[in-house]
């Protein structure tokens, strides 16, 4: 396997990188950790003419704690997110997802933003972003916009970042200290892409009733998806095993996952119910645990 030819660029500032993206546009790909892009290039599914390496840009290598949000820069490695005390406290759902991503050697190199921009529907982080109502800061030379997660994932391996743009930051809202969270998946081998997975968060009000619920599935469609019907069912009710069973049936009925030799459609729908129960059970047990 030989990677196709390209011209390598190592910008020294973000401004440089944006100028290169303006110049090369469609012909360029951004390289950060390379753990998604290099395999695509090795398989010749991607053949960029120019590779712009932002992996060493210090200004993008920070996890920034702001008043209501946590910002994860484009060059922050997954292992840094996994070990960040800030993320564990303020965005525990994201922290819980990290050990599921690939294997240790992949997380040591791969970036969180790289995985998000790659937008693999079977990957964990896009579903976490969707469940957390996160947003994405996207820049081009002379302009910046912020895209909510619900609008960011457009299709299989496609997200709302234009050819002249760079995803500079993944912005996670600070999780309420009363909330509970869980990431569960079923895969053939630990670290493999999930046959189906779920990232879930619930919060309760002073009466102990569920005040907010987010159920976000990965591996179920061409993008991560929220199951709003099940979220609606949960909201306003006190958490209970019976309620979670009901939500599980709704999820199973709502999803239309793909089937392949690793798992049929029926098996994956069944997993939808199983994972809903596991996630809600674990999230309920963690209500208030991040306080």
Partner 1 sequence: MSGDMCQVSCRVNGEERSLAVESRRTLAEVLREDLGLTGTHLACEHGVCGACTVSVDGAAARSCLMLAVQADGRAIETVESLGTEEALHPIQQAMWDEHGFQCAFCAPGFLMTVYCLLRENPAPTPEEIRAELSGNLCRCTGYTSILAGVQAVLSGGDAADA
- Select the span of 66-74, 105-113, 127-135, 207-215 touching partner 1 (CB under 8 A): 105-113
What is the chain's Cα-based Rg?
19
The C-alpha atoms of residue 237 and residue 231 are separated, in whole angstroms, by 11
- Which tokens hold the place of 173? 């809202």
> Between residue 81 and residue 100, which ones bind partner 1 under the rule CB under 8 A?
99
The C-alpha atoms of residue 252 and residue 3 are separated, in whole angstroms, by 41
Show the site string, 42-81: x = touches partner 1 by CB under 8 A, - = not.
Answer: xx-------x-x-x-----------------------x--
Furthest-apart CA pair in the chain: how many Å? Answer: 62
Among all chains, which residue has been given the structure tokens 């599935």?
217
> Between residue 168 and residue 207, which ones bind partner 1 under the rule CB under 8 A?
189-191
One of 46, 108, 178, 211 touching partner 1 (CB under 8 A):
108
Phi-psi region of 119 (alpha: psi -120 to 50; beta: other; left: phi over 0): left
DSSP state of 285: H
| Residue with Cβ nearer partner 1 (60 or 213) | 60
Asked if residue 109 binds partner 1 (CB under 8 A), the reply is: yes
CB of 165 to partner 1, least distance (A): 23
The C-alpha atoms of residue 265 and residue 220 are separated, in whole angstroms, by 10
CB of 284 to partner 1, least distance (A): 24
- Which tokens hold the place of 61? 């290598």
Show the site string, 12-31: x = touches partner 1 by CB under 8 A, - = not.
Answer: -------------------x
> Between residue 223 and residue 282, which ones bind partner 1 under the rule CB under 8 A?
none
The C-alpha atoms of residue 207 and residue 237 are separated, in whole angstroms, by 10
| Residue with Cβ nearer partner 1 (4 or 259) | 4
CB of 2 to partner 1, least distance (A): 7
Asked if residue 35 binds partner 1 (CB under 8 A), the reply is: yes
CB of 12 to partner 1, least distance (A): 13
One of 12, 27, 66, 105 touching partner 1 (CB under 8 A):
105
Q: In degrees rounded to 5, what are phi and psi of residue 245?
A: -60, -40
CB of 102 to partner 1, least distance (A): 7
Give, in order, the Cα–Cα distances in Å from 290 to each of 89, 150, 153, 174.
Answer: 6, 25, 28, 11
- Which tokens hold the place of 255? 């999803």
Binding site for partner 1 (CB under 8 A): 1-8, 10, 31, 34-35, 38-39, 42-43, 51, 53, 55, 79, 99, 102-106, 108-109, 189-191
């Amino acid at each position: 396997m030989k990677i196709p030819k390209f011209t390598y660029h190592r910008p020294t500032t973000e401004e440089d990188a944006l100028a290169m993206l303006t110049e090369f546009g469609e012909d360029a790909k951004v390289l950060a950790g390379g753990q998604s892009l290099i395999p695509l290039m090795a398989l010749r599914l991607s053949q960029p003419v120019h590779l712009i390496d932002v992996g060493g840009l210090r200004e993008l290598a920070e996890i920034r704690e702001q008043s209501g949000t946590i910002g994860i820069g484009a060059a922050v490695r997954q292992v840094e997110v996994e070990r960040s005390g800030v993320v564990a406290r303020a965005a525990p759902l994201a922290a819980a997802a990290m050990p599921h991503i690939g294997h240790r050697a992949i997380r040591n190199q791969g970036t969180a933003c790289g995985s998000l921009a790659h937008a693999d529907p079977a990957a964990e982080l896009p579903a976490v972003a969707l469940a957390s109502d996160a947003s994405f800061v996207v820049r081009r030379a002379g302009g910046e916009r912020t895209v909510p997660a619900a609008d960011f994932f457009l299709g299989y391996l496609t997200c709302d970042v234009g050819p002249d743009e760079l995803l500079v930051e993944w912005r996670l809202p600070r999780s309420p200290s009363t909330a509970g969270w869980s990431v569960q998946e079923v895969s053939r081998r630990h670290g493999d892409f999930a046959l189906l997975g779920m990232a879930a968060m619930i919060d309760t009000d002073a009466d102990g009733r569920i005040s907010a619920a987010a159920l976000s599935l990965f591996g179920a469609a061409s993008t991560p998806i929220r199951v709003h019907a099940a979220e609606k069912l949960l909201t306003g009710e006190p958490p209970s095993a019976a309620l979670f069973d009901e939500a599980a049936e709704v999820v199973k009925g709502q999803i239309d996952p793909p089937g392949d030799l690793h798992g049929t459609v029926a098996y994956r729908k069944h997993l939808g119910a199983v994972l809903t129960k596991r996630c809600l059970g674990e999230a309920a047990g963690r209500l208030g645990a991040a306080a």
